[in-house]
């Protein structure tokens, strides 16, 4: 039992030291990986905050408690029931109360996890009214984007070479990123042009497959101005690691200026009005009585073809 206490104490000390080391580290970088980090990327969207809460407040405590409990049971069996401390083993093979407990307790744990998991899943599908749509198409091995609501035609987004991107942002930075305004709901429609890809931005909590012949959609609402990076998260061929994703979140005026530079419009033109003369002609035509196309019935009696009686 002394060895068990020492082992448990060492484990607790190791966990405390790891927690202290994590707290002592510098703050994680926003929107990109942090060298040496052990936690999730900082969030910048409501869906991401819900994901992080679900992981940190529900999943992590549950898995930690289960791991510690199993480790304690394992150490207890090793040191309490070895051949030296327990030379005469027990002969029984079943214990009904314990078997009921280890069946019911995991079911209850999964039910608790499911309640929060389904709530989060529903949040992903319960999209608020979007302010505009971005269509993302995965190609081997680059992305192309289009803003159909803002009349911005499709453009390609390719990886920047290392000498331009720099060491830290190589395979993250691109030449033509997505640009969106802060605090706006953005709907992302995505598909694949050749094979299955996956459009992913960790800071927004977004990951959705881009499948050829199918249009999937998701959404995000970035609440901080900045630059956010992601990568294709589905094995898609030889250069899978070389099709990054970059999203720039800017202020509303900067976004309007960017849309104008791309030839788009924040206020697409309304359909052209019908001229007054054409409208009058259409109205008179619709109010005129319909002409019957059925042939007029003949008033003359039909001639009998029967022979006259003698």
pLDDT score of 86: 84
Question: Which pLDDT does position 127 carry in this prediction?
Answer: 94
* Alpha carbon distances (Å) from 110 to 61, 107, 133: 13, 5, 37
Confirm or reject CATH 2.60.40.420 for domain 132-261, answering yes or no: yes
Distances (CA, A) of 172 to 2, 29, 84: 52, 14, 58
pLDDT of residue 119: 94
Helix residue ranges per DSSP H, 229-274: 252-261
Question: pTM for the complete prediction?
Answer: 0.74
Nearest to 145 by CA among 253, 32, 247: 247
Which range is most confident: 15-19, 79-83, 245-249, 305-309?
A: 245-249
Domain with CATH 2.60.40.420 in the chain: 132-261
Pairing of strands 186-192, 132-139: parallel
pLDDT band at 85 (very low <50, low <70, confident <90, very high): confident
Query: Using 50, 70 and 90 to split pLDDT, how confident is the model at 89?
Result: confident
Residue 293 DSSP label: -
* Residue-averaged pLDDT of the chain: 84
Q: Calculate the dihedral angle through the C-alpha atoms of 83, 89, 94, 96, rounding to the nearest 10 degrees.
A: -90
As a whole number of angstroms, the distance between CA 116 and CA 273 comes to 51
pLDDT in tens, 185-201: 999 999 999 999 999 99
> Which residues, other chains included, contact 17 with Cβ-Cβ below 8 Å and sequence gap of 6+?
none
CA distance 114 to 121: 10
Quickly state the pLDDT bin for 292 (edges 50, 70, 90).
Answer: very low
Residue 279 has pLDDT above 50, yes or no: no
Dihedral class, residue 262 (left if φ above 0, else alpha if ψ from -120 to 50, else beta): alpha
pLDDT band (50, 70, 90) for residue 207: very high
Ranked by mean pLDDT, the top range of 14-18, 19-23, 157-161 is: 157-161
**Residue 18 scores a pLDDT above 70:** no
């Amino acid at each position: 039992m002394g060895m068990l206490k020492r082992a448990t104490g060492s484990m607790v000390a190791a966990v405390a030291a790891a927690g202290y080391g994590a707290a002592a580290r510098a703050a994680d970088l926003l929107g990109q990986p942090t060298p040496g980090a052990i936690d999730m990327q900082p969030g910048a969207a409501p869906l991401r905050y819900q994901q992080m809460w679900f992981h940190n407040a529900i999943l992590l405590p549950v898995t930690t408690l289960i791991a510690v409990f199993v480790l304690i049971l394992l150490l207890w069996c090793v040191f309490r029931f070895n051949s030296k401390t327990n030379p005469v083993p027990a002969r029984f093979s079943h214990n009904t109360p314990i078997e009921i407990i280890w069946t019911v307790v995991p079911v209850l744990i999964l039910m608790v996890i499911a309640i929060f998991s389904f709530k989060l899943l529903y949040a992903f599908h319960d999209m608020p009214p979007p302010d505009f749509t971005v269509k993302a198409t995965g190609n081997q091995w680059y992305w192309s984007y289009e803003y159909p609501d803002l009349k911005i035609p499709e453009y390609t987004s390719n990886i920047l070479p290392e000498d331009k991107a720099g060491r830290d942002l190589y395979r993250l930075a691109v030449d033509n990123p997505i640009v969106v305004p802060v605090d706006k709901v953005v709907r992302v429609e995505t598909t694949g042009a050749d094979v299955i890809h996956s459009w992913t931005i960790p800071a927004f909590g977004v990951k959705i497959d881009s499948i050829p012949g199918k249009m999937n959609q998701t959404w995000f609402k970035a609440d901080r101005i900045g630059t956010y990076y992601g990568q294709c998260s589905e094995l898609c061929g030889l250069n899978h690691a070389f099709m990054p994703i970059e999203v720039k979140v800017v202020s509303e005026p900067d976004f309007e200026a960017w849309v104008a530079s791309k030839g788009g419009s924040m206020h697409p033109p309304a359909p052209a009005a019908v001229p007054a003369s054409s409208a009058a002609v259409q109205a008179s035509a619709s109010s005129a009585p319909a002409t019957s196309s059925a042939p007029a019935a003949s008033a003359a009696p039909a001639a009998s073809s029967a022979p006259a009686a003698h």
